[in-house]
A and B are shown apart, each in its own frame.
Chain A
């Protein structure tokens, strides 16, 4: 690497600038198809009916918020958004309460069986859980309840929290814990006063990720939710009529569902790949 840089420097700064500019251009071109659907979604959500039914597609238009208004005035999109927030939020909080102690045990007491079970949950198709839960919930009258949905969403959030937190806890220097232990801290005190404060950034990242993937999940809510507890990924279907697709409202609904998640993801960007690999995304 060092030598190559030297060679380039010999041929002058102009060559280096050229190289950087071409790399920038190339990566922009690579990124374009990955970002275009987002741009098209947001553009579509701001188009009037005349504009979104036009062919060839129009690229410049007078933006309007009509579609967003339609999304919230027809149907119960606001309720779905509230439901999604409640379920993803509760599933994340409960996963933190259960998952942090478990992660500590996995990291410090070599309790690998808990980790292995959660790894199986990572590999299993979600439908293998959803069918038995569906039968069970019908018996227990848990279909279309927040309790039932949150419990099922723990299948998504708990593995994310445990596996991410195992990583963060293992990275803590053991000396601090040993010192606290010598000073008489019990396991719970140790966890609450030492481990939780020291892994706070990790906890924040794990919370954001588990919220995102709970929010995004489709299969659980399509099966186990009902009229009162419908979540956004299912609710968005209402805008997909089969004869004529209402593209404007559909784009607005898709934007409302997606944009909060994208914003959260940008906050937690450093941890996302790690989180996804650690056990998120059942599907």
Chain B
């Protein structure tokens, strides 16, 4: 506490004159909007303007890099989406990817958290190591996974072979490509769910568990009727964050398959990437981005509402 106190003294000696007193009053009054002003300006330029521009572009037709001019087409882009089979496919892939990701990552995360919540030597180190997949550069790690999953020479084929399991075609089969991508996404993000649940578990009161033990409740009963219900708020947050990111995942899919084979792993974000930034259909691409944004926002709000209704 010494350091701040001496700083206070410094501030006091500066504030002796009446002029400073006046300035303090003015500063106090305007600080509330002066301090965030720079950030607010940047936010307006970087967040509000692009979103407004995006909404506008969604109603236009415009091709980048041609002599084409902006043409207001109203809802045409959005109407075209309904009959665009590639878009409809991408929408399904997005939902499938997100649903499968949740079904794997949330239960697995809880299990890992339950294990790492126990007391054993080296627990802290193990928790720290669990952080690594989620901070590693996704593009680099996706390429490492491509290497490991190689159907000919990949180490995973070899490892499965040693225990007598035939390796599936992973990324080159339309039926296994999305589950494979979900596996890589789960490798990256299940640890986050686990670490969130761990901090949730650490905050739980111990009395109900002691009472349950006295009553002779089995571990399963304690988990199902005590741990899980009390962990619910944490789980809801984990689900919300995972849903948001699963719906928008783009880099690992783009790197590992570019939406292929065919379009079988193309999600909305990947499709939009091609439409807007490869085919330069800015208007149509904007409309897809608006739909994706609306989807993420809608699912998030729905989950928030469910949360409020139940708890």
Contact = CB atoms under 8 A, between A and B. Distances in A.
Given A128-B292, A131-B286, A187-B35, A23 B11 contact: no
Interface string B40-53: 10110011111101
Given A1-B209, A37-B144, A40-B144, A111 B137 contact: no
A52 to B, nearest CB: 9
A3 B125 CA distance: 27
Interface in B257-307: 269, 272-273, 276-277, 282, 285-286, 289-290, 292-293, 296-297, 300
Contact of A102 (B35, B51, B115, B209): B35
B54 A155 contact: no
A280 to B, nearest CB: 10
Contacts of A122: 244
A125 to B, nearest CB: 4
Nearest to B12: A183
A219 interface: yes
A12 interface: no
A14 to B, nearest CB: 15
B11 A180 contact: yes
A186 B23 contact: yes
Nearest to A176: B4
A48 interface: no
Interface string A40-66: 110010000000010111000000000
Nearest to B268: A125
Interface in A52-88: 53, 55-57
Interface residues of A, number: 110
A233 to B, nearest CB: 4
A155 B196 CA distance: 24
Interface in B137-158: 137-141, 143-148, 150, 152-153, 155, 158
Nearest to B20: A184
A55 B36 contact: no
Contacts of A191: 35
A7 B136 CA distance: 43
Given A55-B158, A258-B136, A266-B128, A24 B122 contact: yes
B116 interface: yes
B126 A31 contact: yes
A132 B54 contact: yes
B210 A180 contact: no
A26 B118 CA distance: 11
A126 interface: yes
Interface residues of B, number: 109
- The listed residue with most B CB atoms (<10 A of its CB), out of A154, A185, A189, is A185
B7 interface: yes
B276 A257 contact: no
A3 B192 CA distance: 31
Contact of B210 (A2, A30, A111): A2
A250 B4 contact: no
Interface string B167-200: 0000000000000000000010001100110010
Given A104-B35, A258-B137, A269-B131, A197 B28 contact: no
Of B4, B152, B249, chain A has the most CB atoms within 10 Å of the CB of: B4
A101 interface: yes
B120 A27 contact: yes
B214 A20 contact: no
B24 interface: yes
A203 interface: no
Nearest to B209: A1
Closest 10 CB pairs of A and B: A184-B15, A187-B31, A102-B39, A186-B27, A132-B50, A254-B140, A105-B36, A23-B120, A265-B135, A101-B35
Given A1-B206, A122-B244, 8 more contacts: A23-B119, A24-B122, A125-B250, A127-B273, A187-B34, A197-B4, A216-B135, A219-B251
19 contacts: A41-B141, A102-B36, A117-B47, A120-B47, A124-B293, A125-B289, A126-B250, A130-B277, A155-B47, A162-B39, A181-B24, A215-B137, A216-B135, A233-B138, A247-B147, A254-B137, A258-B136, A269-B128, A277-B196
